Chain A
Amino acid sequence: MIEKHSRRGDLLLLLGFALVVAFAPTIFEPIGGGYPDLLQKFAIYGIFAVGFNILFGLTGYLSFGHAAFLGVGSYTAVWSFKLLTMNVLPALVLATVMGGLFALFIGFIALRRSGIYFSILTLAFAQMSYNLAYSVLTPITNGETGLQLTHGDPRVLDALFGVQHGDGLPSTDLFGMSMSGWSGYYFCGVVLFAMFYVSLRIFRSPFGMMLRAVKSNQNRMNYTGINTRPYTLAAFVISGMYAGLAGGLMAVTDPLAGAERMQWTASGEVVLMTILGGTGTLLGPVLGAGVIKYFENIFSAFNEATLMDVFSFLPETLQHGAVAITGLFVGEGWHLTLGALFMLIVIFLPGGLMEGVNRIKALFRGGLRRGEVRRPATMTG
């Protein structure tokens, strides 16, 4: 199970990752993804999934409530914008800390159980947070409408330093650099890179080794006299902080926090991202996050008129037929494509997208080790 990692390999990985982050606008332009909002989403959900993978990929504990930390992070960040300052640094720090605290509380309780019981405990906490945020906690969360900035917010730090925001609604900034559009993306990209690096360090550290040991056989660990709880709790809190940070970044690029960010479907989404990309792999979660967000934003945007354009090279009768058939899978049918994709990937690439990547790599290395594709570490029942 233990894979060899050369320092050179890791460095190449980081370098490649940095290059992709830096040139993402150019890389994704041809497939219609080269605009700031989508790339921000790639980066933010990438962070979320990378953090989730530290818990799930290493320890095998499947949390179904991670969206709660994301939501808490968002609310914290928006409150920081409302009460303290429009500068994003305090907001992100507070969001990460709150995500961690929340995770500490929930993790402390939920980690008393394992397997499916753990999953349901996390799910229950997240659903409670969502339901309350949507209804009775409206004074804090602004319920259905979502927490937004208003003109009359105090922003004490800004007032203290004499920062003026003009007539309209203020926008988030990093010491004067606007956090929307491309600069917002690069900010998220840098954070993603840093978080990816942290995750790599964790994967390669003795701590990461310990977490893997928990996954492979927790009982044996306990028999040897090691108390595994502090390790799993630490992993849980770290991934909660990642989620809080991701939630904070969502508020940074778009200062609105809604309760539905905490719904079980949102928790499920990060699970799907991680499995789709490849559980326990470093890059997989980022890939999975990108694919799901790409489908959600690009495939849903095709409508009959755009399809007609795409198939305009066909004779008219064929064109209508082609539009009718593809129309089932894009636009309002984008869910169908996503569902089918889940099935296809898991049937043909059990290790997620990363297995596909590895197979291609193996193919390039020639037929020497044909068929000997190593499956990345995945959760076992």
Chain B
Amino acid sequence: MDKTLLKQQIIEALNLEDITPADIQDDAPLFGEGLGLDSIDALELFVLLDKQYGIKLQNKEEGKQVFRSVDTMAEYIDAHRTK
């Protein structure tokens, strides 16, 4: 899938003013030291996956695995998207 598009969607969903897709490395951690995102951002990513790709994650634990980086998100979307 188009990782730049995914980054753009993440930036919009999380309202990351001042950040561009180029600022986000494909394999860099999104949480913790990476962009400095918190648990509410993770919840927004649940909504993003549902709205954009028709994917409903089961729980926060699954979310933690999927949201490790843009790479892991893209991989999961490719395998599970329903739209």
| Real binding pair | no
B interface residues, Cβ below 8 angstroms from A: none
